[in-house]
Chain A
Amino acid sequence: MAKAANPEGPSVLDRPNSYIGKLVPRPNLERLMQGRGLYVSDIDLPRMAHVVFLRSPYAHAKILNIDAEAARRAPGVIAVVTGEQLAAVITPWVGVLSHLKGLKSAPQRAIATDLVCWQGEAVAAIVATSRAAAEDAAEIVAVEYRELEPVTDMRTALDAETPVIHPALGDNLAFERRLDAGAVDSAFALADEVAEAEFVFGRHTGVTLEPRAVVADWNTAEARLTIYQGTQAPHMVQNIAALHLGLRESQVRVVCKDVGGSFGIKVHIYADEMAVYALSKLLRRPVKFVADRVESFNTDIHARDHRCKGRIAVMRDGTITAFEIDDLTGIGPYSMYPRTSAIEANQVVNLVGGPYVTKNYRARARVVFQNKNVMCQYRGVGHPIACSVTEGLVDLAAAKIGMDPVEIRRRNLVPDDGYPCASPSGLRFELLSHHASLDKLMKMMNYDALRAEQAALRGKNIHRGIGIASFIEITNPSAAFYGVGGARISSQDGVAVRLDASGSVICQTSISEQGQGSESLTAQIVGSVLGVSMERVRVILGDTDNTPYGGGTWASRGAGIGGEAALQAAKVLRRNILDVAAAILQSSSAELDIVGNAIVNAGDGATRIELSELARIVYFRPDTLPPGVQPELMATRHFVPREYPFAFTNGVQASWLEVDTDTGFVRLLRHWVVEDCGTIINPQLVDEQIRGGVVQGLGAALFEKCIYDERGQLTNANMADYLVPMSGEMPDIDVAHVVSPTAETELGAKGAGEAGTAAAAAAVANAVNDALRPFGVMISEIPLTPQVILTAMGRI
């Protein structure tokens, strides 16, 4: 795609020595590889106390009494604080957004006061001189509970005989959305074939290797709270902490150093984190909380617990004429704050059928409360559900009419020249490349040869399957995501760049880093635009005192939004530098360029003056500049998408696997991804985002599930029993790209962080069903454990 010409000179994409599109190692990896990073759990401050939370063993219970007298006298204990005591310092919150019409939730407190609503909800905070001392004391806090009937099964949560978790809300329905587009009834009535299934998705969680952790430091003399937290959205944390502690935002500083994995887990604000902020204020000293792994499983948000009935109408020529879904999801007892827990179901409604032409689509989604841990946005938010349902239905339709799964997609994917266009749910697509991506995938995986191999192996009782899944991904969200609903979550980002006195560049950005490469992509863009080598660009992020205001890194937005702000800021600085250079050199800025850390002649490339020398003159000998020249060697720009609410990306994945029909074990043999995220700033970073995302999707497909019993007890809340992908069972993943830049920005980049997760499980599920086709078995449940497979095959 041709980009609009940059009137100010060559585009950053094709400047000499550009880093855009180049494989450049990320800066500052040595720190992490030598064990010299600074994660929250590494932070140690003077007078710092440690907090341990006593958590409810029941899913649903009344707190009758808390006796903490013995614990308060235990060695090392500084305070034992209950919910009532903490309520004097911090106000409760309700996780709703006004654009999700009808969404309701109950006030949630930092520590429960009289009612506990899930196993793991905090009932008291034990603060001591060490974590071990606090844990010892926690054991002797006596809490008297009266257990209540827990609401655990989402399917009966709305029944009249089921207890209502929050009586003031009237029922257990948090949110419902209906959509009816086109002529669905007539499409089904006129269809040659109709296929349907109920798709079941296991509840799983992010399992960041570093548990959630926070150090809150209230300095009572400054009347200022510093929060050290591994968060994806520092300014959001600043706003929320200030709001509920009764402080001005300027009284709260959020510092985010190294973050040990996030994936959406660390984009929320948890009750226990609120409690830590409040405890620091209450106790006038730094307080540190580091979740242990059991707490992580019981309190880090869960995701994906959906049961979705789906129907598809198809004609014998392969034309898909309608989709219909009825989605049900259980989100725990509260809608999370401040992003809410209705977003995933809302996304499912938005995204089902998204890659395909048909305009006939009906959907209902219901979100219900239950006495389990809270659910909220985790990498891919709704995409894996929507993709698995859509692609599962497309494969079912293909099987009904005896058509190859690739062929039915070719006949129904929105044509590559059909843009811009909109989906039945109203999503607007600027430019996607489903067919180019599918064509590329076919070549990469050598589809026909693989089909032949599959057929040959079946004769030897070896059952291999191929699964295909096309997808769309929401990236670069505008204010349409949260801002319009009243949440103070910024959708714009800002970048400030300045040339320092030695000719190096300091760049402050509001996007954050959790290993994706935010720092690298910012330095690559700034270095490219300025003509400065990357090692001279220092990027500062993750500090509300020292960066422009902005959203942070989530929803695949860092490169597309923060990257564009960096580009625009660097362009202004470049112009300012050239103006100064022109004054020094008695030339004109149009005749000059910056290449290789020096001002050069635009015409012949001859070096005129090093940037370090220019900076020396500006900062130390401004008296030698011509009269009236006031250099501005710092520039700030912000960016937010305005034309499209979201920059959609697209792609297609394929899985090749083998099912052992005796044991039910699935062996992943190969996985392919073709993806289109527009301009690629650093191919290695993009590819590794894709691979990492795929593997999280493969975990969901085969292993990961939070297993609750009927009393709401999480029975596998440890890493030995909750299975995540290990290196030995993961396949190599081939990644390729089609490039359709967004014209909304000069950079043209869209997001890539969630594409891998969006379709990996769908591809695997389709491949397992493809492998089992000779057995007449169709499975629509993940994770596809040996038990699920053998049960479906009637073997156990």
Chain B
Amino acid sequence: MTRQVPISLTVNGERVEAQVLPRLNLADFLREHIELTGTHVGCEHGVCGACTVRIDGEIVRSCLVLAVQTHGASVQTIEGLSDSGEIADLQAAFRDRNALQCGFCTPGMLMAAQDLLISQPEPDRDRIREHLSGNYCRCTGYQAIVDAVETTARARIGRRP
């Protein structure tokens, strides 16, 4: 049996020390070891985007990253982005536009949308649709999500000094 490896990282600003098997992926580490179940596992092969999290500011599919690769890194999950208030306006736009139904894709979708809004504050609808194409949603048909992201982008621009 392969030996466990010690890792040390921060998750949502909190320091985490753990012993993990080298084969453990980050999604399972987050869900099962530190019980942050907002990161969802939809396909386990990097296609659906439900497990999207941030590592050192970049969004990744946590099912394609090994937990050991996050040693020394800063990981942010949907719980962290929610508690910090960073995406409160985006979440409000999702709620007002009913941009989620079952909600399973939503944490990953919010992660990807926020990533777009950080890198490109004024995306048009085609750009939003393109950026979110790596996040599958089977319920909404996407239009409400695109609307909510567009609304948030406009509101943020309006709030700029």
Known: A260-B103, A727-B142. 15 other contacts (CB 8 A): A29-B95, A33-B95, A33-B100, A35-B39, A35-B77, A36-B38, A209-B104, A210-B42, A514-B102, A515-B102, A691-B143, A694-B141, A719-B42, A724-B136, A726-B134
A35-B79, A37-B103 given; A733·B98 CB < 8 A = no
Residues 704-744 of chain A, each 1 if its beta carbon lies under 8 Å from chain B, else 0? 00000000000000111000111111101100000000000
Chain B residues with CB under 8 Å of chain A are: 1, 21, 23, 31, 35-45, 47-48, 50, 77-79, 82, 91, 94-98, 100-107, 110, 125-126, 128-130, 132-146
**Is A604's CB within 8 Å of the partner chain B?**
no
Can you list 13 contacts pairing A with B, beta carbon distance less than 8 Å?
A25-B96, A33-B82, A36-B82, A37-B103, A39-B40, A210-B40, A259-B102, A261-B104, A293-B45, A515-B103, A685-B98, A696-B138, A718-B47
Residues of chain A lying within 8 A (CB to CB) of residue B38: 34-37
CB distance from B39 to the nearest CB of A (A): 7
Give A256-273 interface residues, CB cut-off 8 Å to B. 258-263
Chain A residues with CB under 8 Å of chain B are: 25-26, 29-39, 41-42, 44, 75, 132, 206-211, 258-263, 292-293, 514-517, 684-685, 688, 691-696, 718-720, 724-730, 732-733, 756
Contact between chains at A733 and B91 (CB < 8 Å): no
Contact between chains at B98 and A209 (CB < 8 Å): no
CB distance from A433 to the nearest CB of B (A): 24
Residues of chain B lying within 8 A (CB to CB) of residue A694: 141
Residues of chain A lying within 8 A (CB to CB) of residue B45: 293, 718-720
CB distance from A680 to the nearest CB of B (A): 14
Contact between chains at A688 and B91 (CB < 8 Å): no
A724 to B43, CA, bound (A): 13
What is the chain A residue whose CB lies nearest that of B145?
A727
A210 partner, pick from B91, B104, B133, B135, beta carbons under 8 A: B104
Residues of chain B lying within 8 A (CB to CB) of residue A39: 37, 40, 104
B100 partner, pick from A29, A75, A695, A719, beta carbons under 8 A: A29
A293-B45, A727-B145 given; A35·B138 CB < 8 A = no
Residues of chain B lying within 8 A (CB to CB) of residue A691: 140-141, 143-144
CB distance from B65 to the nearest CB of A (A): 17
CB distance from B8 to the nearest CB of A (A): 23
Contact between chains at B102 and A33 (CB < 8 Å): no
Residues of chain A lying within 8 A (CB to CB) of residue B143: 691, 730, 732-733
A688 to B105, CA, bound (A): 16
What is the chain B residue whose CB lies nearest that of A760?
B141
CB distance from B137 to the nearest CB of A (A): 7
A209 to B104, CA, bound (A): 7
Q: Is the interface of A mostly helix, strand, loop or mixed?
A: loop
Q: Which 7 A-B pairs have the closest CB atoms?
A: A35-B38, A32-B103, A515-B101, A260-B104, A695-B141, A35-B78, A515-B102
Contact between chains at B105 and A209 (CB < 8 Å): yes
Contact between chains at B47 and A720 (CB < 8 Å): yes
Residues of chain A lying within 8 A (CB to CB) of residue B48: 209, 719
Interface centre among A209, A718, A720 (most CB of B within 10 A): A209
Contact between chains at B133 and A30 (CB < 8 Å): no
Contact between chains at B140 and A692 (CB < 8 Å): yes
Contact between chains at A208 and B133 (CB < 8 Å): no
A38 to B79, CA, bound (A): 14
Residues of chain A lying within 8 A (CB to CB) of residue B125: 732
Contact between chains at B138 and A719 (CB < 8 Å): no
CB distance from B97 to the nearest CB of A (A): 8
Residues of chain A lying within 8 A (CB to CB) of residue B133: 726-729
CB distance from B70 to the nearest CB of A (A): 18
A32-B103, A688-B144, A728-B133 given; A26·B98 CB < 8 A = yes
CB distance from B131 to the nearest CB of A (A): 8
Residues of chain B lying within 8 A (CB to CB) of residue A696: 138
Residues of chain B lying within 8 A (CB to CB) of residue A209: 40, 42, 48, 50, 102, 104-105, 136-138
CB distance from B129 to the nearest CB of A (A): 4
A31 to B91, CA, bound (A): 11
Residues of chain A lying within 8 A (CB to CB) of residue B134: 726
CB distance from A475 to the nearest CB of B (A): 18
Contact between chains at B95 and A260 (CB < 8 Å): no
Residues of chain A lying within 8 A (CB to CB) of residue B36: 35
A354 to B39, CA, bound (A): 45
A696 to B47, CA, bound (A): 18
Residues of chain A lying within 8 A (CB to CB) of residue B132: 727-728
Residues of chain A lying within 8 A (CB to CB) of residue B42: 209-211, 260, 293, 719
Contact between chains at A210 and B141 (CB < 8 Å): no
A34 to B100, CA, bound (A): 12
Contact between chains at B142 and A718 (CB < 8 Å): no
What is the chain B residue whose CB lies nearest that of A32?
B103
A718-B43, A720-B45 given; A684·B98 CB < 8 A = yes
A209-B136, A727-B132 given; A688·B79 CB < 8 A = no
Residues of chain A lying within 8 A (CB to CB) of residue B94: 29, 33
Contact between chains at B41 and A41 (CB < 8 Å): yes
A30 to B50, CA, bound (A): 17
Contact between chains at A692 and B139 (CB < 8 Å): yes
Contact between chains at B138 and A292 (CB < 8 Å): no
Contact between chains at A33 and B137 (CB < 8 Å): no
Residues of chain B lying within 8 A (CB to CB) of residue A34: 38, 78-79, 82, 91
Interface centre among B35, B128, B137 (most CB of A within 10 A): B137
Interface centre among B23, B43, B97 (most CB of A within 10 A): B43
Residues of chain B lying within 8 A (CB to CB) of residue A29: 94-95, 100, 103
A756 to B140, CA, bound (A): 11
Interface centre among A34, A41, A132, A211 (most CB of B within 10 A): A34
What is the chain A residue whose CB lies nearest that of B149?
A727
Contact between chains at B47 and A688 (CB < 8 Å): no
Residues of chain A lying within 8 A (CB to CB) of residue B137: 209, 727
Contact between chains at B110 and A33 (CB < 8 Å): yes
CB distance from A76 to the nearest CB of B (A): 10
